[in-house]
Structure 1
């Protein structure tokens, strides 16, 4: 698909010349309506990093003793593993916020906190700033976005085949989807890391969209990845190599954390049309979840709000949501999590063009669920 074909389809999505569409234009409109403290760093967010690390450390210590637990009592471990998995996810969310500048101004401290926060996700601060802050936020759900779904016209690479196999869609096997939720994040990270470290080219064929990083960034990514691998090796050596300890104490919490994170991440953009306008209200979806979940997960459900104000204190995203509903309620995509998942499981996952999804065999063609109606 060419840039011209994308532009020709997305032209119908325009809401008029007076409507702010870019993140910068929306931010300029809404910023005066937000309190000044919404744009200040939040030290309390930094404090959540050691708290969740402590939960993991305590869990790993308990896991190292699992060989002494009577077999029936291992059922008690499941809620502990869920709590640890939640900490894996929350640490990733916190690192995401910190890398957007919502943390200490000292660059070294911020990157160290980001490294610790991302470590259980096998992500590194430098790679995250490149793939997420720079590429994804600049080209959200466009042809150059490395986080978008694949195009039907793209080569049938190993990355595309695995994505089709495990991503939520009308074609996915339910059992494979359940297992795939635990591996979707590692797959995304593995393919992105391979593309950058092994090739560092704009023509990498196994990613949805490839990009280059500077030589200094590439070296930093390699060094940070070695540090992350060292952390995982330390955890494994502490827990022990016995099968029960390794499975329940290391793999299970990570799988739960990855699955919980992907339950959010899948909904962020896959139901939205492709667009080259970088309009966060067209390219993103926000979720409605219970207030206690938003409190526990740092308002990560507020995704369109995040694309308008990436560096905002996330405590103020509910206020941004109110403003978007008031000023752009006709364009703001807001949906319950259950409904978003119902739509994902009812539609194919490849883009035929900006406004249509198509099955892998080409037999099913449907409009993108969140594409606005033509005027």
Structure 2
């Protein structure tokens, strides 16, 4: 597929250069307090497992009392990803080795080696957002119908998704995303791997580090399972349930980030990214991750200041800025196909039904110009 919209797009750096003078210098200082948040949520998980280790002595009719604890633990899984995300973007501390070690702890519940995250997210996704080379984009219709593309079609929210499989996918799609990219790098490390949306490569050194970090994560999870004595009741309530709920929560954010946007050759965050409105309590809990366009404009910024960036976008780019209520973004996901026919068109698995990308404001602007 050849992208043809580059002449209409504005690079991320152009936006950043224009908006930077309106932002205070402290917005770009590191915020070590985010480490406190990360370790608080690690502690919550540890306490949850300590309580969960006694579930075999609870009467069956009282096991439901553990559900609030599981929900809190699930939220901690979400916060661990988002706090580690900020940490690895360099907005928390300066020390690289300490960042790598803490990120390994923070991303362990996501089974994500930090060196892999650094490659897939920081290096590739942020530089090629929703472009052909972005491993986080929708599959192209013209790509082979591999097992990876089939799972994407079955579980990702779309106009054709089965509600049952969507429910299953909310708790498992993160694992599929990790498995696809981890195996692509560790087993092949080639750019022609066809079961990922877009394959990328890493250096031989990083490949070894990724394997070592994944082995550490595997041993950490094995230790948790052993601590819970591989007891089915303990595992279901205090291990699987919190992780599944956490994955579902973070996938809600991740699905809305880019999947209803057009593909772009030039990295234009106002076209290829979406910010959503959520209740303020979730912004407080989840480190303003809903401000996603703002993050793509200033990846290394203290996330506390993303609301200020949003206000600037409303002033300077009111017609281009994709800001939706969370419910509206989810509705658009459920009423559109999930594969790209071309950079501006979404199409279903069969190739029979296609619609324009709902957030392609460039198309809207051209239509206005034509009408005039």
Q: Normalising by the residue count of structure 1, what TM-score does the alignment of the two structures yield? A: 0.96
Q: 1:360, CA displacement in angstroms? A: 0.7
| Counterpart among 325, 333, 353 of residue 344 in structure 1 | 333
Query: What is the aligned partner in structure 2 of residue 143 from structure 1?
Result: 132
- Write the distance in 2 (CA, Å) between the matches of 1:263 and 1:198: 29
Question: Once the two structures are superposed, what CA deviation does each residue of 1:1-25 show, in whole Å capped at 9, x if it has no partner?
Answer: 2x3xx12xx257x26xxxxx22211
Query: What is the aligned partner in structure 2 of residue 188 from structure 1?
Result: 177
> Could you say what secondary structure the match of 1:181 adopts?
helix
Question: Once the two structures are superposed, what CA deviation does each residue of 1:170-198 show, in whole Å capped at 9, x if it has no partner?
Answer: 11100110111000000000000000000
Query: What is the aligned partner in structure 2 of residue 79 from structure 1?
Result: 68
Q: 1:107, CA displacement in angstroms? A: 1.0
- Write the distance in 2 (CA, Å) between the matches of 1:130 and 1:319: 29
Q: 1:49, CA displacement in angstroms? A: 1.4
- Write the distance in 2 (CA, Å) between the matches of 1:220 and 1:29: 39
Query: What is the aligned partner in structure 2 of residue 18 from structure 1?
Result: none
Q: Does 1:27 align with 2:35?
A: no
Q: Does 1:252 align with 2:241?
A: yes
- Equivalent residues of 2:78, 2:247 under 8 A apart: yes
> Could you say what secondary structure the match of 1:271 adopts?
coil
> Could you say what secondary structure the match of 1:363 adopts?
coil
> Could you say what secondary structure the match of 2:133 adopts?
coil
Instruction: Report the count of equivalent residues.
Output: 364
Q: 1:362, CA displacement in angstroms? A: 1.5
Q: 1:239, CA displacement in angstroms? A: 1.3
Q: Does 1:354 align with 2:337?
A: no
Query: What is the aligned partner in structure 2 of residue 152 from structure 1?
Result: 141
Structure 1 stretches of 4+ with a deviation exceeding 4 A read none
Query: What is the aligned partner in structure 1 of residue 99 from structure 2?
Result: 110
Distance verdict in 2 for CA 1:37–1:11, change over 3 Å: closer
Structure 2 runs not aligned, ≥5 long: none
Distance verdict in 2 for CA 1:99–1:11, change over 3 Å: closer
> Could you say what secondary structure the match of 2:256 adopts?
coil
- Write the distance in 2 (CA, Å) between the matches of 1:74 and 1:205: 44
Query: What is the aligned partner in structure 2 of residue 200 from structure 1?
Result: 189
Q: 1:32, CA displacement in angstroms? A: 1.1
Q: Does 1:125 align with 2:108?
A: no
Query: What is the aligned partner in structure 2 of residue 287 from structure 1?
Result: 276
| Counterpart among 90, 103, 116 of residue 79 in structure 2 | 90
Question: Once the two structures are superposed, what CA deviation does each residue of 1:19-59 show, in whole Å capped at 9, x if it has no partner?
Answer: xx222111111111111110000011011111001100000
Q: Does 1:53 align with 2:42?
A: yes
Query: What is the aligned partner in structure 1 of residue 58 from structure 2?
Result: 69
Question: Once the two structures are superposed, what CA deviation does each residue of 1:255-288 show, in whole Å capped at 9, x if it has no partner?
Answer: 0000000010000000100111110001000001
| Counterpart among 175, 184, 197 of residue 164 in structure 2 | 175
> Could you say what secondary structure the match of 1:154 adopts?
coil
Question: Once the two structures are superposed, what CA deviation does each residue of 1:127-148 show, in whole Å capped at 9, x if it has no partner?
Answer: 0110000000010000000100
- Write the distance in 2 (CA, Å) between the matches of 1:364 and 1:79: 43
Query: What is the aligned partner in structure 2 of residue 319 from structure 1?
Result: 308
Q: Normalising by the residue count of structure 2, what TM-score does the alignment of the two structures yield? A: 0.96
Q: 1:247, CA displacement in angstroms? A: 1.1
- Write the distance in 2 (CA, Å) between the matches of 1:86 and 1:292: 12
Q: Give RMSD over aligned pairs.
A: 0.9
Structure 1 runs not aligned, ≥5 long: 16-20
| Counterpart among 42, 53, 74 of residue 31 in structure 2 | 42
- Equivalent residues of 2:12, 2:267 under 8 A apart: yes
